[in-house]
């Protein structure tokens, strides 16, 4: 385990518009600074996850906001039709610390949406991103584009909770889990399964 600057991230596509579940989306280097220790963040998240309530997966519905299509489709009515921008909105980042004291999440998402972004990434972890519990649901209600969660995902159940809150996709920090857990995140096609 290293500091954030050593992390690799991969996108998880939660589900497609026709109900198929998961396809590989993207692999992005984290490109972050030295302000958060990965091992400490993982330990804190594991403690938090012990309080996570089970999800009835029968309540999960596929997203209609296709992240994969959003970042690969040609943009219309923009100056650069081949550039798909995913903008991040967060109160803080692990790299830079606190960014803003007050943030109107809905307004920021609407501004990004009106700028024709392909998707908005929302920092949802309270520790690393200074998120409040309503940030994701507020963003999901305000966005017409896909909402991508930026959080420390360690177990599949987190993805279910995030989907119920309106997430269309999530970033997975591959360096935070074992290879076996990463393979498990790929899942098998079918209801409730997620592939990375």
Report the pLDDT value the prediction gives residue 179, as an integer from 0 to 100. 81
| 110 token code pair | 């609407």
Per-domain residue ranges of the chain: 36-171
What helix, strand, coil percent values describe the chain, rounded to 5?
A: 35, 20, 50
Per-residue model confidence as pLDDT tens digits over 100-119? 888 999 999 999 999 889 99
Say if CB 163 and CB 173 are below 8 A apart: no
Point out the least confidently predicted range of 7-16, 79-88, 142-151.
7-16
Please give the C-alpha separations between residue 129 and each of 29, 36, 114, 116, in angstroms, as whole numbers. Answer: 18, 11, 24, 24
Residue 56's Cβ-count burial label (10 Å; 0-12, 13-18, 19+) is exposed
| Residues in contact with 56: Cβ distance below 8 Å, sequence separation at least 6, in sequence order | none
CATH 3.40.630.30 fits 36-171, yes or no: no
CA distance 8 to 31: 8
In this prediction, what percent of the chain has a pLDDT beyond 70?
70
pLDDT band at residue 36 under the 50/70/90 scheme:
low
Task: Give me the DSSP letters along 114-125.
Answer: HTT-SEEEEE--
Per-residue model confidence as pLDDT tens digits over 57-78? 787 888 888 888 888 876 665 6
pLDDT band at residue 35 under the 50/70/90 scheme:
low
């Amino acid at each position: 385990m290293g500091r954030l600057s050593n992390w690799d991230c991969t996108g998880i596509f939660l589900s497609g518009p026709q109900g198929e579940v998961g396809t590989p989306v993207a692999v992005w280097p984290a490109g972050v600074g030295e302000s958060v220790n990965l091992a400490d963040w993982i330990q804190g998240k594991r403690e938090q996850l012990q309080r996570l309530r089970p999800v009835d997966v029968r309540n999960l519905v596929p997203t209609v906001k296709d992240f994969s299509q959003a970042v690969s489709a040609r943009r219309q009515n923009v100056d650069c039709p081949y550039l798909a921008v995913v903008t991040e909105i967060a109160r803080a980042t692990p790299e830079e610390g606190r960014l803003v004291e007050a943030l109107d999440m809905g307004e920021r998402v609407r501004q990004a949406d009106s700028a024709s972004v392909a998707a908005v990434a929302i920092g949802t972890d309270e520790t690393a991103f200074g998120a409040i519990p309503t940030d994701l649901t507020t963003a999901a209600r305000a966005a017409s584009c896909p909402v991508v969660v930026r959080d420390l995902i360690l177990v599949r159940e987190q993805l279910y909770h995030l989907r119920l809150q309106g997430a269309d996709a999530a970033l997975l920090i591959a360096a935070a889990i074992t290879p076996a857990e990463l393979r498990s995140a790929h899942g098998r096609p079918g209801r409730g399964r997620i592939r990375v």
